[in-house]
Amino acid sequence: MKKRIVVMLLAGGQGSRLGVLTSNMAKPAVPFGGKYRIIDFPLSNCVNSGFDTVGVLTQYRPLALNSYLGTGQHWDLDRNYGGVFVLPPYVTEGENGQWYSGTANAIWQNREFVDQYDPDYVLILSGDHIYKMDYAKMLDFHRKKKAAATIAVLQVPWAEAHRFGIMNANADGFIESFEEKPKEPKSNLASMGIYIFDWKKLRDYMEKDDADPESSNDFGKNIIPAMLNNGEVMVAYPFEGYWRDVGTIQSLWEANMDLLGQKPVLDLDDDSWRIYTRNPVMPPHYVSLTAQATNSLVSEGAVVEGTVTNSVIFSGAHVEKGAMVKDSIIFPNAVVGKNVTVEKAIVGENSVIGDFSVLGGPVRPGEKVNNKLTGDITLIGNDVTIPAQAYIAKGAVVNTENPHQPAKEA
């Protein structure tokens, strides 16, 4: 039986700009939206699009992600033919093992996985973006244009264009030029890191690229420019829905805030396009008589006894009596102690904030805060215990390697 398309999902990113949140897990495994993980979005898009053969390429800190994926049952990807497969780097007989040296090299190392399905096309995705997209429509577009490669694109603010692969396309969508993260972009049409290739053609280009010792083995830097230079038909597929690269603390916080409100920017209450996840086996959330929760998401197993405003509270989290949580994200099983104040913060999984502490307070005179990664968002890593009466200034980062000492006055 021949599979028309195989999906390869790149999920091995270290996510260094997410700081302590990815110290023990790959970026696609980071919690999002009260009950999800980032990787739930591309996996759910695959299922909703009717694509059921997915290779998940892992590399950095894969344990949490591998355990989370399991057999793929929670995304209806536990199939007799096809399904979801975890694909880490490996060593073959007579070769020296190596990490994936680039996005194209990751696919090349797993060419035998793709070959066994003998597909016409391969869809390549990133595991760290938040969006809803019908890949079947993109495949139809690719086939109608008789393209060798189709790249999903969206318009980004000009000030952000230098962070992306930027392309120029004519009125019919055919790509005329491509620049990877240009200093002076000529267009604001940005690659979303979503590609459809004719498999046999891509395989030939990757083989040539792998033989070049000077290559970065990257789609944006090497494969796509090589195909353009050779005159291959390449088209831009326009996307106009919600899409966010949650590769920074600021963008992760903003994307979670986008879920709030009566008409959220990203609507997860959508029966026509469900986002599937691995649900924890927990009782319903509990909001006590002393609690107040407004404009917030509170997931199953959470207990709220304090005040929660404009925040996202994950499963198993506990906001104790007298605590005030505002504009914040409380990850799974974290505890916010009695009479704690948390403002514009992210509190990592299993962390405990001691009673009468302050998170996100003003920077005090003489205090130095390294907020290069966080801006004005206070970040508490996973498995951190903050002692009682601690004062953590806005933008500060606390992890298990630099535990914060209690302040004299909270």
Handedness of CA 298, 65, 135, 227 (dihedral sign): positive
What pLDDT, on the 0 to 100 scale, is given for residue 92? 55
What pLDDT, on the 0 to 100 scale, is given for residue 98? 66
pTM above 0.85?
yes
What pLDDT, on the 0 to 100 scale, is given for residue 79? 63
What pLDDT, on the 0 to 100 scale, is given for residue 1? 43
- What 3-state class would DSSP assign to 122? strand
Question: Taking Cα atoms as reference points, which of 223, 263, 235, 225 lies closest to residue 106?
Answer: 223
What pLDDT, on the 0 to 100 scale, is given for residue 406? 43
What pLDDT, on the 0 to 100 scale, is given for residue 280? 81
Partnered with residue 292 across adjacent β-strands are: 307
Whether the Cβ atoms of residue 381 and residue 408 lie closer than 8 Å to each other: no
Cα gap 10→104, rounded to integer Å:
10
Q: Residue 131 carries which side chain, given as an amino acid letter?
A: Y
Q: Residue 316 carries which side chain, given as an amino acid letter?
A: G
Helix (H) or strand (E) segment spanning residue 257: helix 249-257
What pLDDT, on the 0 to 100 scale, is given for residue 50? 92
What pLDDT, on the 0 to 100 scale, is given for residue 87? 81
* Regions of the chain short of the pLDDT cut 50: 1-2, 93-94, 405-410
Q: Is 88 exposed, middle or buried (0-12, 13-18, 19+ CB in 10 A)?
A: middle
